[in-house]
Amino acid sequence: MSGPLLEVRNLARSYPRVQAVRDLSFAMERGQITGFVGPNGAGKTTTMRIAATLDVPDSGDVFIEGQSVLVEPRACRNRIGYMSDQFHPYPNLDILEYLDFFARAHGLAGKRRLDTVRSVASFCGLLGFADRPATGLSKGMGQRLHLAKTLLHDPALLILDEPASGLDPRARIEFRALLKELAAAGKGILISSHILPELGEMCDSVVVIERGRRVVSGTIAEIQKSVQHEQAVAMRVLGDAAMAERFLLTWPGVGQLAVDGQRIRFPFAGDEPALGELLAQLVASGVRVVEFARTEANLEDIFLSTTKGNLQ
Amino acid sequence: MTSLEANPSAAGVPPATFPLAPTRWTKWSDRLNPILVREVQQAVKGRVFTLTVWVALLITVVIAVATANSFDARGGAGRDAFNAGMATLMPLVLFVVPMQAYQSMRIELRGGIVEQLLLSRLLPMRILYGKLLAAMVQFTLYVSVLAPLLATSYLLRGVDLPTIVVSLVFALIGCITATAFAVSSAAQAVLPALQAIANLATAFGLGLASFLFVGAAVSGQYSAMVSYLVREPEFAMVMVAILLLAGTVVTLSLLVAQSFLLHAFENKSTGFRILLFTLPVLAFGWVLAFAGPSARDEFTAALTMVLLVTGIVFAVFMVTEQGELSPRMRAHVPTRAGLALLAAPFLPGRDRGLLCFLGYLVWLAGLAWFCWSGTTRRQWIAEMMGIAALTAVYAIGWLAFGRWLRGRLPAGLQGNHLGRFLLPMSFLLVLLLPVLVDLFLRGEVHNWHYGHVLNPFWTIEQVDRMNTWQEAWLPAAIVTGVLLLLHARVLVGAVREVVAAGAALAQRRRSAP
Ligand SMILES: Nc1ncnc2c1ncn2[C@@H]1O[C@H](COP(=O)(O)OP(=O)(O)OP(=O)(O)O)[C@@H](O)[C@H]1O
Ligand SMILES: [Mg+2]
């Protein structure tokens, strides 16, 4: 009954042709939002499914409040709310019936069930849609319903696999607010996403994995500090960014470039004189620089500087 | 005002559609299986169900009108109405209802909905029961649609009440069995490779069954048979046999379906093994209860053979399981050494599977002996027992090979499935190879020779035909002895693992505060 809310210990899981997860370990506490980041095929879904008792590892274990998911899957299931990356509702049920059914399945009865269903629906903004068929909902409404279903049994740990994919910007902001509210209520949330700026805004800590291995983990501040020796530089140029790109690629100390139209970001290893020299040479070579600033590394920089982009 | 209606939550009151207080239905349905509640809700909204109810109603009316027009005092019209009613009911309960259950299970599996269900408090068995309950509700509904027709046929003196009741009971048994079968084949479709086969086999099997029953019902054979049966003294015997058989099929189907839904480390074996050990008790119990002294030994001999073959089929699955106890099983074994010892053959693991089969042979032989009256001395009964004994020896040998083979395959479910495929295949190969050699070397397959000694069918037939039982006993006993000696360590190790896990568990419990 003791121990961190979620502890992944030396987890390994292989499929016939790939080693999806290798020797992965991390932990998280109640009230924490942990971002789970990695390139496609890094093993995020695999890890989350094992933690949610839906798959078994080759070796290693996952503990929910000290209880092993391999030894006590039933007890662990009651504490976990797992939202998979796909949502498939039942045909011929409306939203109310859908939630009511899962509430029954979680053993809720009588007034308590009605209250739970109503409050969860209200929390997820579904109150006005009780009689909508659960199939054929828009992506965002589907995600809301999926989250509502996940919250019904008041789990201590939420495992959310790309919950925000396909949401419109407003829905995304609302969703973020919902998650923050849940974390404030003491739940732990492990969330995977490819939308890094968004994760950066709500997560207390991140775990970055690549090819099944953990590359970095810790609170965002800690990681920022650890990659701080390579400060990030953000700049904007007029006209063609390709010229600036070519120049930067040859310059010592410049890390992986992230080019977005006229904007370029890159980690830079070097002191201030070196940076001044870089800017001077850049301008001298004919690049028309209109913005040039040092920034703190954000999650995207962390991601780019720690992962190699190797897919599997 | 309109804007408030368009966005009801803006008015501060939740819309009436999310109920505030429990209604009588809510309170009452709390006691029901959630799956049942949902299936009924879905059925009411679904098209297939509504359509079939309307079609059934329509047919009822048509038959009723036709019967009224051809009324005759001897009850011929009544019988026709009954037959037509049964012919309508059969495809509904043997095909439509099970296929609905099949479909709903498939939808759940395909969408990964079943994973969401498994994460709830619903255990797999409860989910499966829910499906059977839903089938029963549908059955009741169809019967009530046809009830006026059945009542008419009774009033027209076409059929008597016992025939109607027994016919309906049979239909219910058939419906539940077919639904359990359908649900289990849907669950097997968890494995993509089996999906197409499962689809086809289920639709074909259920279609064929309902086709045959419709034929029998329309021609009047079904009602004739039932009304004959209810008057015979053997009625109870047949009824109990049917119930036992149906019960076995349903239990087996549910266990199979459950094994696909359970967590990978959950115990999937014990249910099957206990079912296997229960079968001889039921079968011989039935013999003792119903068979007269003259027929008792014949039944016993025949059932021993059937139960032996059943046991071998079960054992093929038992000896191709994973090797060791899963972490979950290790944490849930009996802590008392004696209890652990007793439980060991029933716990998962292929070594314990072999032990379980050996135990089953002893259990089966013991119960058969108990059931034996010794009053009849027919030649074929003695032969049957000889055949059973030799079959058991062959089974031990082949199953031991299966266990060894599984050990050479990769760990995990895939390996289990591969083992279950390779064991019968190697058996077939060993059957065929000597035949092929004969064919190439001598140009014909004629006589049994020692190259065929691994082929149980031919060898046993040879022993029986030449009546060389006396010569066969010794080699059979020696082979059994050698096999047991070779596996002594495996069998002891299989028990020891359980006892050790129990001891470790007890130790941990003691040291924990
Ligand atoms: N059922 C499976 N059979 C075989 N390989 C699998 C299976 N599931 C996952 N994999 C492989 O395991 C690796 C990790 O997959 P996983 O789905 O965990 O990645 P992910 O981090 O969730 O990726 P994404 O960001 O694309 O969702 C991939 O290479 C994938 O091909
Ligand atoms: Mg994924």
Same domain, yes or no: B216 and B332: no
Q: What is the pLDDT of residues B41-87, one digit of tens each?
A: 888 888 877 888 888 888 888 877 777 676 565 556 778 888 888 88
Q: Is there a contact between B326 and A70 if contact means CB atoms under 8 Å apart?
A: yes
Specify the DSSP element, H or E, that contains A118.
helix A110-123
Residue B192: the pLDDT is 66
Phi-psi region of A168 (alpha: psi -120 to 50; beta: other; left: phi over 0): beta
Mean pLDDT of B206-235: 88
The answer to whether position B8 is within a domain reads: no
Residue B109 within any structural domain of the chain: yes
What is the spatial distance between Cα B138 and Cα B50, in angstroms, rounded to a whole number? 11
Q: What average pLDDT score do residues A175-197 get? A: 89
Is B251 in the same domain as B320?
no
Asked whether the predicted pLDDT for residue B375 surpasses 50, the reply is yes
CA terminus-to-terminus distance, chain B: 65
Residues of chain B contacting A124 with CB distance shorter than 8 Å: none
CA distance, residue A290 to nearest chain B CA (Å): 48
Whether residues B274 and B196 share a domain: the answer is no
Query: Ligand 2 mean position to B198 CA, how many Å?
Result: 29
Query: What confidence tens digit (pLDDT) does each residue in B15-48 have?
Result: 446 777 777 777 788 889 999 999 888 888 888 7
- Averaged over A181-185, what is the pLDDT? 92
pLDDT the model gives residue B407: 93
Q: What is the pLDDT of residue B233?
A: 86
Q: Distance between CA atoms of A56 and A58, rounded to whole angstroms?
A: 7
- φ/ψ of A150, rounded to 5, equals -65, -25
Judged by DSSP in three states, A160 sits in strand
Instruction: Indicate which atom in ligand 1 lies nearest the CA of residue A194.
Output: 25
Separation of CA A54 and ligand 2 centre (Å): 14
Same domain for B287 and B300?
yes
Written as one letter, the residue type at B70 is S
List the beta bridge partners of residue A210: A213
- My answer on whether B281 and B214 are in the same domain is no
Q: Are residue B371 and residue B243 in the same domain, yes or no? A: no
What pLDDT score was predicted for residue B9? 45
The whole-angstrom separation of Cα A275 and Cα A255 is 13
Asked whether residue B16 is assigned to any structural domain, the reply reads: no
pLDDT of residue A243: 86
Closest ligand to Cα A85: 2
- Which of A99-108, A273-282, B462-471 ranks highest by mean pLDDT? A99-108
Query: How high is the mean pLDDT of chain B?
Result: 86
A40 lines ligand 1 (CB under 6 A): yes
Same domain, B231 and B296: no
Contact A114, A96 (CB under 8 A): no
Pocket test for ligand 1, best of A14, A18, A195 (most atoms within 8 A of CB): A18
| B513 part of a folded domain | yes
| Domain membership flag for residue B177 | yes
Q: Tell which atom from ligand 1 comes closest to the C-alpha of A46.
A: 18
Clarify whether residues B220 and B270 are in a common domain. no
Ligand 1 centroid to Cα of residue B118, in Å, is: 22
Which pLDDT value is given to residue A1? 53
In a shared domain, residues B421 and B344: yes
Comparing A282-291, B144-153, B200-209, B332-341, the range with the smallest average pLDDT is B144-153
Select from A13, A21, A24, A45 the residue to mutate for testing ligand 1; criterion: most ligand atoms less than 8 Å from CB.
A45
Same domain membership, residue B310 and residue B381: yes
At residue B511, does pLDDT exceed 60? yes
Four-way CATH pick for A6-89+137-222: 3.40.50.880, 3.40.50.300, 3.60.20.10, 3.40.50.740: 3.40.50.300
Residue B10 is predicted with a pLDDT of 44
| pLDDT confidence bin for B170, thresholds 50/70/90 | very high
How is chain A split into domains, by residue range?
6-89+137-222, 229-295
Is the CB of A1 inside 8 Å of chain B's CB atoms?
no
pTM of the model: 0.86
Is the model's pLDDT at B5 over the cut of 50?
A: no
Mean pLDDT of chain A: 87
- Nearest chain A Cα distance for residue B455, angstroms: 36
Chain CA centroid to CA A289, Å = 34
Residues in chain A within 8 Å Cβ distance of B263 = 53, 56, 73-74
Task: Report ipTM for this prediction.
Answer: 0.84
B-chain CB neighbours of A70 within 8 Å are 265, 326-328
Residue B245 pLDDT exceeds 80: yes
Structure tokens at A268: 């830079």
Per-residue pLDDT reduced to its tens digit, A209-235: 988 899 888 887 777 776 655 678 889
A44 lines ligand 1 (CB under 6 A): yes
Identify whether residues B175 and B69 lie together within a single domain: yes
Helix axes of B350-371 and B293-318: crossing angle, nearest 10 degrees: 180
More confident residue, B400 or B512: B400
A208, A306 contact by CB (below 8 A): yes
Looking at the structure of chain B, the number of domains it has is 2
User: How far does A124 lie from chain B, in Å, by closest CA?
Assistant: 12
| Residue B3 belongs to a domain | no
Q: Has residue B255 got a pLDDT over 90?
A: yes
In a domain, B11, yes or no: no
Chain A within 8 Å of B493 (Cβ-Cβ)? no
* Segments forming the whole domain that contains residue B57: 30-262
Mark whether B229 and B359 lie in a shared domain. no
Q: Which residues of B touch A123 (CB under 8 A)?
A: none
The per-residue pLDDT for range B100-147, each reduced to its tens digit, is 899 888 888 877 788 888 999 999 999 999 999 999 999 999 998 888
Class of domain A229-295: alpha beta
Q: What is the mean pLDDT of residues A267-295?
A: 87
Mean pLDDT computed over B431-459: 84
pLDDT tops 50 at residue B1:
no
Task: Please check the confidence at residue B234 and state whether its pLDDT lies above 50.
Answer: yes
Average pLDDT over residues B177-186: 92
